[in-house]
Amino acid sequence: MAPRLPHLVLASALACAGVTSVLAQEPEADPPVRDLEALVDAAERHYPALEARGAAIEAAEARLGEARLSPFFRGWEGTAGLTVVPDATGTPVYSDQDQLPLNEGWGPAAQVGIRGVVPLYTFGKLRALKRAARAGVRAATLDQERAEAGLRFDVRRAYFALQLSLDLQQMIGEGLPKLERAAEKLQEMLAEGDPDVNPFDRFRLETALAEVRARASEIERLHDGSEAALQALTGLDAIRVPDCPMEPIALEDTTMARFLEASEARPELGMLEAALEAREAALDAERVGFAPDFGLGFQAALTWAPGRTDQENPFIQDQANRPQLGAGLVMRWNLDFAGQVHRRDRARARLEETRAQAREARLG
């Protein structure tokens, strides 16, 4: 038994340490009381949908910046290359080597160049592109407003539902024991043969008790559901709202004109208007897609091969050692007219679709 003594001592020490740590733990404090404004602020800081809408606005603004600047740089490209070629010497009129001197030495050859086109006139294509991008920024901003309003509505609905459930639980907690005592008293009176009561009174009272207990279960479900909704919306682990007994709420008188004005300012309608603007811009771009684009072209390049004789005569095309520099007016024309007709018709159909959706939304 002696070898087991150290193990018993160690186990006892660990057990004592565990008991000490448990006793040292303080009871968890109640969560702080948060009113509606605090819960709304917590939800706006936590809810991922608002973060997603903010990222969508940044993406739309990036597309607008691209629409403003990218057309002036999209047609530019730089090239570079490095290889080895056989050496060659001579003049434009004489060389002791053939056209492919593979038996000679080999040396490096490099090429670097840049070329591009700056658009000058596109018949409105670039203007339509910027219109569509601005509409996208507006739609993303309004979508964020819609998400914020929806989040505030959900928080308010869950908050008032939680307060209602707490008040109803208090009411049932105060009234249910009285009904139960009345049922017991009625049962005693029936057992004693009191002529002032009859079994139908007991049936009616038991029915009322069952109805109240059923409503208590529904109220508990309302409490749990609204509390879970607030936890999900705000990211808080525990929810505690102020004690606020139910009381009437005074509402300001609002005219029909005020309601109509508010309905016209809904972000959903603004998003549809932005979508219409984008569709119209897309149709304008497809309509002018039959026309060419005019721009200023530029090209600069240099090819260098030190193992080959540089032919400095400007009328000799020296592929190994050749500088290039040029600029001028250029035209680009997409001759896919058959496909352009269908692209225009598709843009027109999408515009009509969005217009119909806007009319449907205004009907409510």
Q: Is residue 249 part of a domain?
A: no
Element (H, E) at 325: strand 322-332
Range of the domain at 134: 36-88+107-244+268-310+318-362
What's the average model confidence in pLDDT over 129-150?
A: 95
Give 30-69 pLDDT, tens digit per residue: 788 888 899 999 999 999 999 999 999 999 999 999 999 9
Copy the structure tokens of residue 154: 């959900």
Q: Is residue 93 part of a domain?
A: no
Q: Is residue 13 part of a domain?
A: no
- On the question of pLDDT at 15 being above 90, the answer is no
Give the per-residue pLDDT at 62. Answer: 97
Give the per-residue pLDDT at 281. Answer: 96
Q: What is the mean pLDDT of the chain?
A: 85
Q: Is residue 10 part of a domain?
A: no
CB-based burial label for 159 (10 Å; 0-12, 13-18, 19+): buried
The total number of structural domains that make up the chain? 1
Q: Is residue 155 part of a domain?
A: yes
Q: DSSP letters along 141-161, please?
A: HHHHHHHHHHHHHHHHHHHHH
Contacts of 351 (CB under 8 A, 6+ apart): 276, 279, 280, 282, 283
Give the per-residue pLDDT at 91. Answer: 79
Copy the structure tokens of residue 62: 């990036």
pLDDT band for position 226 (50/70/90)?
very high
Q: Is residue 349 part of a domain?
A: yes
What's the average model confidence in pLDDT over 87-97?
A: 78
Give the per-residue pLDDT at 29. Answer: 66
Of 9-18, 79-88, 111-120, 175-184, which gets the smallest average pLDDT? Answer: 9-18
Give the per-residue pLDDT at 312. Answer: 82
Q: Is residue 202 part of a domain?
A: yes
Domain at 301, CATH number = 1.20.1600.10
- On the question of pLDDT at 14 being above 80, the answer is no
Copy the structure tokens of residue 175: 């009234």
pLDDT band for position 188 (50/70/90)?
confident
Most confident stretch, 154-168, 189-203, 233-247: 154-168
Q: Report percent pLDDT > 70 for the chain.
A: 91
Of 87-101, 137-151, 272-286, which gets the smallest average pLDDT? Answer: 87-101
User: How many alpha carbons fall within 13 Å on the CB side of residue 7?
Assistant: 4
Yes or no: say if 241 and 33 are a contact pair by the CB < 8 Å rule: yes
Give the type of residue at 110.
A
User: 364 - beta bridge partners?
Assistant: none
Q: Is residue 258 part of a domain?
A: no
Q: Could you tell me the pTM of the whole model?
A: 0.73
